[in-house]
Structure 1
């Protein structure tokens, strides 16, 4: 069932890969929801590192996904596809999407949506799904983090870093972060980090050993890879888990497998975007039961950096790539709520 909708919408795209300046607005047809899908009138869209990597031509959307960047949105459901009850029309939701977020309207699988309470600003809601789904899956499901353990997170003031810190503390972990300057270390500590290390001035391996009394951490959430991996492994306690979610520092690492075997270390990682709709629905259900109530009642709130108009997506990307942000950058689309 589709309510009265325009035929065309404004979206952000690019003609060829490049820097932030290649982003520009365009007019596209408003998509129609298919089976199990809803159409969201987008109020705000989150900006994430994978969007920039896609713009650079290094992270193409999976088959069937919109070529428009954007992996998370918040807004109102204005149309539903077959198999989705009409009761959902008018509901405020945020959603994890496989693309299409930088637009006035965006398709989402109903199973990947979370209901947004009236007390939560839609700008904040749009800043949650991508980092929440990523952190929950990689820290708690793949990394098996549990109460009383210690988590090391690189990029402490990034969207992922601030989310991992908040969730870790909410579920009884000690959290260590690394940041590039003292101001960001202070911001990370304000998010709840027990220790934030300025990696430009201190060896994070030694700092971790000192903080943990030589034991090491149980989980490392790694967004750097490359030469960081062997250093991360030195930070791990016996039976520790190393989870990679990005390769900003390079795709290869040199490892001593004898050390990994003798200390019973686990190395894993994941990418969320290409996972199946079924997997993401199951993950959303787990999050809805365990973590979403903390956001719905205001116990946790995303760390917000800056809001840009949709037409200035290039400015949002430039800020993110300059590393100036603390927390999440969002695009204002309709701005309602």
Structure 2
């Protein structure tokens, strides 16, 4: 089957660095897949904090990646490049990419593509790649989380947070989560959190110690940084593992590292975007093996807060930066 592709496509580009209003609808040449790549006709693109940071000029696309924002999409394979063996035209898929998702068509290496789960709509499938891969590699690979342990998730109502809560609780972990309102805390508990902590009203360190009888959290997933760095060290259990995936409150902090030595803690940091094709393919295969069966069984589900037309990407970014959402925000061409 050979599909005739349009010469041009609609896309959203960053016209200059700044606020959401710098996102502009443009017409671009439709990309063509190179060796080992597939071209996806985009059904939906996930909106991520990384897109907002790129828009502000602090998270440039890696060398060779599209300058368009967008780190994950779902859709239908429209064409395949030379050497592709894993996918065929017409396959319904979702994928993690280094950029280019805010468009009608996007190219990605075949090793970073996952099949659309049978019980998830093609649109909602765009909410899965970035969150599942981020949680799996940071919490279960780097954090070495095991059944019977306690996980503290900061930003529990975010896309990553809602996925981490579901996945960890499903695998026999006690999950504690922080969120910024009573409604968001309820959403976290409805998804499986043992206890949600409203960080505006409660000290998460005190709550974690109380819930764990003074032991602390075995693994902490943090995207806040700032003063949370020292507080995470306080809240961590002996031999605990703390993984930072963002520093929304700042990455420069003054902290006493003596407890890290005394408690034998591990501090880690991680990003996905700049990893090479081989590492992304390995991670994609791990997620397909360990997480996809849970998604297809309905035990881990995409949580979608809002969907905007592609042309309203600025509104999607405004919602993201307001932190008024629970779960994922999507764009549909």
TM-score normalised by L of structure 2 = 0.98
> 2:38 maps to which residue?
38
Q: Please give the alpha-carbon distance, in whole angstroms, between the structure 2 residues aligned to 1:197 and 1:87.
A: 43
Query: Which residue number corresponds to residue 154 of structure 1?
Result: 154
Asked if 1 retains the 8 angstrom alpha-carbon contact of 2:46 and 2:70, the reply is yes
User: 1:206 and 1:87 mapped to 2: Cα distance?
Assistant: 50
Whether contact under 8 Å (1:72, 1:95) holds in the other structure is yes
Of the structure 1 ranges 206-215 and 81-90, higher mean CA displacement relative to structure 2 is found in 81-90
CA offset at residue 258 of structure 1? 2.1
Q: Which residue is equivalent to 1:10?
A: 10
**Separation in 1 of the partners of 2:4 and 2:297?**
33
1:310–1:250 distance in 2 versus 1, CA, 3 Å:
same
d(CA) in 1 for partners of 2:117, 2:227: 43
2: CA distance between counterparts of 1:38 and 1:107? 6
The one-character-per-residue Cα deviations of 1:67-104 (angstroms, maximum 9, x if unpaired) are: 10000000000111111139611100000011000000
* Map of 2:236 onto structure 1: 236
Q: Where do 5+ consecutive residues of structure 2 fail to align?
A: none
Aligned equivalents of 2:306 and 2:87: distance in 1?
34
What is the aligned length?
Answer: 333
Q: Contact between 2:117 and 2:292, CA under 8 Å: does it hold in 1?
A: no
CA distance in 2, matches of 1:87, 1:176: 39
Counterpart for residue 302 of structure 1: 302
| Distance in 2 between residues matched to 1:231 and 1:331, nearest whole Å | 36
Q: Residue in 1 aligned with 2:255?
A: 255
CA distance in 1, matches of 2:127, 2:116: 12
C-alpha distance 101-212 of structure 1, shift in aligned 2 (>3 A): same
Report if the CA contact (8 A) 1:9-1:29 is conserved.
Answer: yes
Partner of 2:322: 322
- What is the RMSD computed on CA atoms of the aligned residues? 1.2
Offset from partner CA, 1:146-184 (integer Å, 9 cap, x none):
100000011110001101101111111110011111111
Quote the offset at 1:35 in angstroms. Answer: 1.1
- 1:110-147, Cα deviation, whole Å (9 max, x unpaired): 11111114432012100010111111000000100010
Using a 3 Å threshold, how does the CA distance of structure 1 residues 104 and 309 change in structure 2: closer, same or farther? same
Q: What is the rounded CA distance, in whole Å, between the counterparts of 1:269 and 1:117 in structure 2?
A: 30
Write out the 4+ residue segments of structure 1 that deviate beyond 4 Å after TM superposition: none
